[in-house]
Amino acid sequence: MAATSGSVRLQRCIVSPAGRHSASLIFLHGSGDSGQGLRTWIKQVLNQELTFQHIKIIYPTAPPRPYTPMKGGISSVWFDRLKISNDCPEHLESINVMCQVLTDLIDDEVKSGIKKNRILVGGFSMGGCMAMHLAYRNHQDVAGVFALSSFLNKTSAVYQAVRESDGVLPELFQCHGAADELVLHSWGEETNSMLKSLGVSTKFHSFPGIYHELSKPELEKLKSWILTKLPGEMERQSE
């Protein structure tokens, strides 16, 4: 590996819960963005901050690295890839290094008293892909995974890990704009169908007229799903 766990400490933007912290959400940005950038974008789309009574939101920032689709230019990306396509090999070396780095983030939450089954991981675009690698290959005991406008390559190592798993896998929540021209809607659908066929419980929501972007209906749906996976004290008592 080019880096080891602990050699990179990610910058992170934190939104604290309004009440007692009993669950955590790790939200990964898309390529070239930052944790603060994603937080601001969500706030603009919703016209308010995404906050919860009991859930801490962590928006980490990917460290800058050379990115092949930008002809080797430096960008804040979670991993490298040959091109933005579902039909090429994954750059597993960079993905595996980042899984290690993001594991430190999960470990920090566990050390602070949050159980793994009270942690959600997800992201937008490349962030959603990174979250699927992180959860399905390394942390199959998290509460769930979400991927917005995201996809996995046809021969993804995620599929192999899921095939080899004999435990209960976290549920996958996906949203995708039907008019997305960068990450095709069909790539997201194919990812969902493949994981479903391998035994993952999945949800897939299509949004007509939405491009490669976040939308208010999508974020409202995501918020509802988050609360079903990470209920607060009152909801858990009534179950």
Q: Residue 124 in 3-state DSSP? A: strand
The encoded tokens of residue 182 equal 């960068």
Cα separation of 201 and 237, whole Å? Answer: 25
Cα separation of 226 and 219, whole Å? Answer: 10
Q: Are 236 and 63 within 8 A, CB to CB?
A: no
**What's the DSSP call for residue 207?**
E
The encoded tokens of residue 211 equal 């491009």
Output the CA torsion 207→210→214→215 (10° steps).
-70
Degrees, nearest 5: CA angle 218-132-97: 130
Catalytic residue among 54, 94, 133, 180: 180
Q: Tell me, yes or no, if 125 is annotated catalytic.
A: yes
Pairing, β 55-61 against β 64-67: unpaired
Q: Tell me, yes or no, if 180 is annotated catalytic.
A: yes
Q: Are 54 and 22 within 8 A, CB to CB?
A: yes
Kindly tell me the burial class for residue 12, based on how many C-beta atoms sit within 10 Å of its own C-beta (0-12, 13-18, 19 or more): middle
The encoded tokens of residue 185 equal 């809607």
DSSP bridge partners of 73: 67
Catalytic residue among 34, 75, 165, 212: 212
The catalytic residue positions are 125, 180, 212
